[in-house]
Amino acid sequence: MAVVTCTNFTLPLAVMFVVALAITFKRVKKFARIAWDALTVECSVVALTQSTAPPQGQSQPESPPGTVVPTSVNYHFTRQCNYKCGFCFHTAKTSFVLPLETAKKGLRLLAEAGMEKVNFSGGEPFIKDRGRYVGQLVMFCKSELGLPSVSIVSNGSLITEDWFNKYGEWLDILAISCDSFDEETNRRIGRHQTGKDHLRCLRQVRTWCQQYKVAFKINSVVNRYNIDEDMSSEIMELNPIRWKVFQCLLIGGENAGPEALRDAEDMVITDQQFDQFVKRHEQVTCLVPESNEKMRDSYLILDEYMRFLDCREGRKEPSRSLLDVGVQSAIQRSGFDEKMFFKRGGKYTWSKADLKLDW
């Protein structure tokens, strides 16, 4: 009798016995049905086993130990700014900005490593080429890399409606920094420029965000000058999707120490004072507070050379550029606390396609 096979395996002896029995007793219909059912089950089981199990002698692939996925990256591509906020932790130590195509190359490497969200910051992102540079990066990340979320943090003073016309469709979130709704307080903080009305710029940008369907967000740094302010009514009127409230943070070499361009020592507040500010605004539903403990190691920060910055020791220690050594090699020197990133709500609904914008 010929050997019957199915998908490279020999028909089990029991099945062949049933077939032979059917032929012998000429009960073809009854026993053929039994044989066919048995054969079908066996084929299905073996095929399923072969499709899910790795080849003999091999194991399922595992992520290399120590691999960090750069889910959300903050790219501070410039240190230049038209404001002089006293607590700034990324000051104008250089005027260097990567060539546009080189920056795109680095962003592509990050996307290939798993980046889902990129946030462009500074310095002031709109200071380079009157916003064209950041606009080109926004369009590239959305249209070519297909990132779920692209955002910008800006002081809002250099943004124009023409920019929204050209690039607004590619931008998910625009965060405007505002530490006070009192202009005198803003001047004391350093968040101002001669001839610019910061609060007027804030409200104008909010209007454009509504008009061009960009999610609007506000960032505030709580410090000695605004610690007693109640911003509830203004925030609720502006209705941002998120109001990020940060505790003033000292970073050696940036806003503290002999090498720093700023001295924020007199702007620092205690944890208790920060908690009191948060409690005063607890009725604001979009409030997202971040203490120094939550903030320090839970952000992936890239500088103007595309180096990750490790802030664990209270100062910025740069890795080698990911353009030279690759993402995984560079990110090992980032000091990134992934658990704290998720604990502080670092991943949220951040694509405007998924946001229900209440315009």
Instruction: List active site positions.
Output: 81, 85, 88
223 closest CA partner among 165, 284, 180, 258:
180
Listed as own residue / partner, the contacts of 210-214 with beta carbons closer than 8 Å and 24 or more positions apart are 210/359, 211/164, 212/164, 212/165, 212/168, 212/169, 213/168, 213/169, 213/352, 213/357, 213/359, 214/164, 214/168, 214/171, 214/172, 214/173, 214/174, 214/352
Question: 292 by DSSP, 3-state: which?
Answer: helix
| Cα 191 from Cα 195, distance rounded (Å) | 13
**Do residues 143 and 186 lie in contact, with contact meaning Cβ atoms separated by under 8 Å?**
no
Residue 302's alpha-carbon distances to 80, 184, 236, 327, 333, in angstroms, are: 15, 33, 32, 11, 11
Assigned token pair, 270: 């205690």
